[in-house]
């Protein structure tokens, strides 16, 4: 079990809720395989191992979960294609395995609604119908992204699942218009390079500042400015947003948490002659 870290006025910890694989070329876009394979080894189908690393935040008034993971509601062929391994069977079980009651979660902040980040909102009931995995949590997402999920473009259409959106509506959705605090010390910053209105979660404790950039910087390798994904909607915009965020992380000496890296939880960033790089790896 990962320990809670006191950031100063708020506690944080990470929790891996899904393990899966995606095509390495798709994860690294235009980066040649001889370069990206230094960071991740592909299987015989060119898939690389990934995780969904959720972030838990505890305040005196709330228990916040950032990112729901992939859950368990996938067909056999799709689960096989993704090499999906929902940790302990789904979000509900993953939380319980760490002695966290899913009913205690009050806020579910979704950086965006692609299935690898949001499908875990649902779990199977006894009758097989999807029901909320977090029965007392409300979902927090950007209004413009919510609208995009209901009317996506061709490239992004398969990333959104209507059945997950229906479960969110049952939970209750708080649509956010722009940047700002969700709770004291917990705020969101917008990025639109990967998808429209992705929420970067920033936690400003009295002692530490934590950044959760989601798919803006999904793995340690993607700290490199030119490393983008084939899934990114607007790669040039993403690079600009990434460099701006890394400048702030370095200035704060903050913790940068990686949502998809199977080996590295977090890192601290430094600026050098060739841009931003990892100064040291961290656990959380």
Strands (E), 46-134: 47-58, 63-66, 85-86, 107-109, 122-124, 130-132
Question: What's the mean per-residue pLDDT of the chain?
Answer: 95
Burial class (CB in 10 A: 0-12, 13-18, 19+), 280: exposed
CB atoms < 10 A from the CB of 243, how many? 12
Query: How many domains, in total, are found in the chain?
Result: 1
Does residue 130 surpass a pLDDT of 90? no
Using pLDDT thresholds of 50, 70 and 90, give the confidence band for residue 93: confident
Query: Using one digit for the tens of pLDDT, what is the confidence trace for 189-208?
Result: 999 999 999 999 999 999 99
User: Is residue 230 a contact partner of residue 236, using CB atoms and an 8 Å limit?
Assistant: no
> What does the alpha-carbon distance between residue 162 and residue 146 come to, in Å, rounded to a whole number?
11
pLDDT at site 88 = 62
Residue range 262-278: mean pLDDT, rounded? 95
pLDDT in tens, 227-239: 999 999 999 999 9
CATH number of the domain where residue 51 is located = 3.60.15.10
**Residue 65's closest CA among 145, 120, 114?**
120
The upper half-sphere exposure of residue 216, i.e. CA atoms within 13 Å in the direction of its Cβ, equals 29
Residue 153 CA to residue 161 CA, distance in Å, equals 13
Under 8 Å between Cβ of 120 and 77: no
pTM for this entry:
0.96
What is the C-alpha separation between 153 and 267, in angstroms, rounded?
34
Which residue range is the domain that position 159 belongs to? 5-282
Q: Which of 180, 191, 174, 226 is nearest to 32 (CA)?
A: 226
């Amino acid at each position: 079990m990962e320990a809670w870290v006191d950031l100063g006025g708020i506690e944080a910890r990470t929790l891996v809720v899904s393990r899966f694989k995606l095509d390495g070329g798709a994860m690294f876009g235009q980066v040649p395989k001889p370069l990206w394979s230094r960071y991740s080894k592909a299987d015989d189908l060119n898939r690389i191992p990934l995780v969904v690393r959720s972030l838990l935040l505890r305040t005196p008034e709330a228990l916040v979960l950032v990112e729901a993971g992939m859950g368990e509601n996938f067909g056999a062929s799709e689960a096989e294609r993704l090499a999906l391994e929902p940790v302990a069977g789904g979000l509900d079980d993953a939380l319980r395995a760490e002695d966290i009651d899913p009913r205690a979660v009050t806020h579910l902040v979704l950086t965006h609604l692609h299935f690898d980040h949001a499908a875990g909102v649902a779990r199977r009931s006894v009758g097989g119908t999807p029901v909320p995995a977090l029965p007392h949590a409300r979902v927090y997402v950007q209004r413009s992204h919510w609208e995009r999920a209901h009317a996506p473009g061709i490239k992004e259409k398969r990333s959104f699942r209507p059945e997950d959106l229906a479960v969110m509506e049952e939970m209750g959705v708080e649509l956010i218009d722009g940047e700002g605090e969700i709770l004291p010390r917990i705020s969101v910053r917008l990025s639109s390079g990967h998808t429209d209105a992705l929420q970067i979660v920033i936690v400003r404790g009295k002692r530490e500042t934590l950044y959760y950039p989601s798919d803006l910087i999904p793995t340690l390798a993607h700290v490199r400015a030119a490393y983008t994904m084939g899934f990114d909607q607007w790669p040039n915009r993403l690079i600009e947003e990434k460099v701006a965020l890394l400048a702030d992380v370095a200035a704060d000496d903050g913790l940068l948490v990686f949502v998809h890296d199977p080996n590295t939880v977090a890192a601290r960033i430094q600026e050098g002659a060739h841009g931003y790089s990892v100064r040291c790896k961290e656990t959380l």
